[in-house]
Amino acid sequence: MVVLIAGITGNLGQRLASAAISRGLSVRGLGRNSSKLQSDISRKLESFVTSKTHYDIDALDQAGKGVDSIICAYNGDPILTVEGGSLLLLAAERAGVKVFNAATWNNDWSKIKYGDFEHYDTNIAFQHYAAWTSSINPIYIFTGYFSDLYLTKFGPGSLTVDDEGKKVSLRY
């Protein structure tokens, strides 16, 4: 079984890759810079597809070709969650992938509605988009939070750096 991990170079992506590899799965990575990967993970990948941005359709299509499932390990940035997740879902459809794990590594937001809690609005928006438009029924995993990530020097939230490496954003 070949699993694509989109966002593999991030903290969560590398943890997921290690777990998948240790269970004997073949892992393909999708990310902007393979040099961010730990060397033990990099050596064991089936392949790595470089994407310029989350809307690099050619890279998304190349990465999704021939995989059995896709795990989205994008960070919690609102644009990346909705737009990036939607574009990855569309690539999964074009590739005929049936198993898509959405980027929902958080608490259970399934019993609230859009507008109740701003942090989860992007997850709810993605869920609605997928339900309205996709033949794939994504998997949503509610993990609570990862304390070793939550209790970092940066605190909770999503720390991102823009593509030019000039602007750092921390979102809660």
For residue 154, pLDDT over 70 is answered with no
Q: pTM for the full model?
A: 0.84
**Other C-beta atoms within 10 Å of 34: how many?**
16
pLDDT at 170: 56
Res 105: pLDDT: 74
pLDDT for position 148: 53
Task: Specify the pLDDT at position 23.
Answer: 97
One-letter amino acid at 111 equals: K
The tens digit of pLDDT for each residue in 19-69 reads: 999 999 999 999 999 999 999 999 999 999 999 999 999 999 999 999 999
Closest CA to 57 of 27, 8, 93, 90: 90
Residues 6 or more apart from 138 whose CB is under 8 A from it?
89, 100, 101, 102, 127, 130
**Measured CA distances, 32 to 9, 10, 51, 74, 120 (Å):** 8, 10, 5, 12, 26
pLDDT at position 57 is 99
Distance CA 84, CA 3 (A): 18
pLDDT at 120 over 60: yes
The more confident residue out of 70 and 75 is 70
Amino acid 53: pLDDT: 95
Handedness of CA 128, 130, 136, 137 (dihedral sign): negative
Architecture of domain 2-171 in CATH?
3-Layer(aba) Sandwich (3.40)
pLDDT at 96 over 90: yes
Coil vs helix vs strand at 168 = strand
More confident residue, 167 or 75: 75
* Cα–Cα distances in angstroms (integers) from residue 38 to residues 63, 127, 162, in the given order: 20, 32, 21
The pLDDT score that the predictor gives to residue 43 is 98
The residue count of the chain comes to 172
